[in-house]
A and B are shown apart, each in its own frame.
Chain A
Amino acid sequence: MVSCIFGTYWLRETNVDSNVLPEHVKNNIRKAQLQKKDVDDIDITTKQTTQDLIDAWKDEFAKFIPSSRITEADKSKDVTSMKRKLDKPLVFVLDQKIGDQSFYLLPQGKREEGETLRQCAERVVKEKCGNDIKVQIFGNAPCGFYKYKYPKPLRNEDSVGAKIFVYFARYSSGQISNSKAKYQWLDKLELEKTWPESYKKSLLPILFD
């Protein structure tokens, strides 16, 4: 906010001060001087043109309405739309069942034998969101890590918990074509409310502000 106020004020104040007069303003002055000398010689139509130009520009500017930063999705509080909170990075979370509870978490899946973590991440995106969506995964290295223990009845001697490696990906194009998926696009503040405590603690730091 500060940057916005400062920017506009500073530009108006100092930039205009230091600039030389532009052509149309100069023309106006020139004509005014001429007018003083001999009123009769000046053609009324030419006298008006510069002012007319300025007025026309102002009119055109007034007519132009830039699109609002508050979108339809913001108004209807539609969390499934990506076109909400345009000034904030949004995170895709998917309704997933862990044990007998379900949470809105980052899309996750089990790594199969023989694939790298990166390939696994790509496969999980395809499985959870459908084939239509295109995402760009940033690098081969995971950007975050989360470890949890299974609920008691599911534990056995081989496995007591899971380790999750998180990859950072950005949406590039396409739609989420998996109709079964229940998903939301949330910003950091909303994630703090929806994510479970331990998940939040290890995965919120990987997000950009």
Chain B
Amino acid sequence: MNLTKLLPQFKRLSLCPSIRHISTDQCLLFRATPCLMAEPLKKKRKLDPAVIRAREERKKKRLEKQIRRLEKNARQMKPIGECEVPLTLLDEKLDRQRNILISAEVLEKRALLEKKWANFKRLQLLSDLQMIDRIIYTQQKALDELKNESEELYQEAIQMDFHMIPFKTMGPVETRSIENYDALDGEYQDVSKKW
């Protein structure tokens, strides 16, 4: 049979002559030979266990070093000048001690004063607590009365006041400010260290 004659005829029959589709669906019973997919195995190189251990160790060390370096940089913070005791002070600590001998009389006086102070603070605390109790009581009384008067107004009154959050307050101050006080001024040079 002459194939060259047959081929153009079949070509005309097919819808899409230039691209051929192939399927290996199970139902087509199309089988690829497994042995053709095979590939010769790579020869496994046998490594000395000591070498492996050394390599792992090196890897671990490198990681550790990196971590240490990162930690060192991360932990470093701006020093706070006021919180650090100058080294000269630490060196001369013994030298700088005031060796004051306090007489028994003075100690006695101080102890008495401390007792007086403790008593004063106790009474102060008590009176404060009483005051707070009193104020809470009067407010509760007012709210109860309001509830009797009008439930609606009561509901309004017990709402949270968001103007008070966050709460900010100032004073009373120990000494009042001097009016029109001209603060001493001069030329300043900022010597604080830049970080």
Contact = CB atoms under 8 A, between A and B. Distances in A.
A100 interface: no
B172 A144 contact: no
Interface string A130-167: 00000010111111110100000000000000010110
A114 B157 CA distance: 14
Contact of A163 (B95, B145, B157): B145
B175 A208 contact: no
Given A6-B113, A13-B110, A17-B102, A26 B139 contact: no
Contacts of A6: 113, 116-117, 120
A206 B111 CA distance: 38
Nearest to B184: A60
A3 B135 contact: no
A144 B110 contact: no
B149 interface: yes
Contact of A118 (B102, B116, B156, B178): B156
A16 B153 CA distance: 59
Interface string B64-102: 000000000000000000000000010011011110101
Contacts of A136: 163
Nearest to A3: B120
Contacts, number: 104
7 contacts: A2-B120, A13-B110, A139-B161, A141-B158, A165-B146, A166-B142, A206-B139
A54 B104 CA distance: 32
A83 B65 CA distance: 67
Contact of B113 (A9, A139, A140, A141): A9
Counting from the closest, the 6 A-B pairs by CB-CB distance are: A145-B142, A20-B96, A116-B156, A21-B96, A67-B178, A142-B142
B142 to A, nearest CB: 4
Interface string A181-196: 0000000000000000
Contact of B138 (A20, A86, A140, A144): A144
A125 B6 CA distance: 110
Contact of B142 (A71, A86, A141, A209): A141
Interface of B: 89, 92-93, 95-98, 100, 102, 106, 110, 113, 116-117, 120, 127, 131, 134-135, 137-139, 141-143, 145-146, 149, 153, 156-161, 163-164, 172, 175-179
Contacts of B157: 116-118, 140-142
Query: Among the interface residues B106, B146, B160, which one has the most CB atoms of the partner chain A within 10 A?
Result: B146
B92 A26 contact: yes
Contacts of A16: 98
A46 to B, nearest CB: 19
Contact of A86 (B92, B134, B153, B176): B176
A142 B102 contact: no
Contacts of B143: 141-142
A2 B137 CA distance: 30
Contact of B135 (A2, A118, A205): A205
A209 B100 CA distance: 43
A116 B153 contact: yes
Nearest to A22: B96
A6 B124 CA distance: 15
A45 interface: no
B131 A209 contact: yes
A14 B110 CA distance: 9
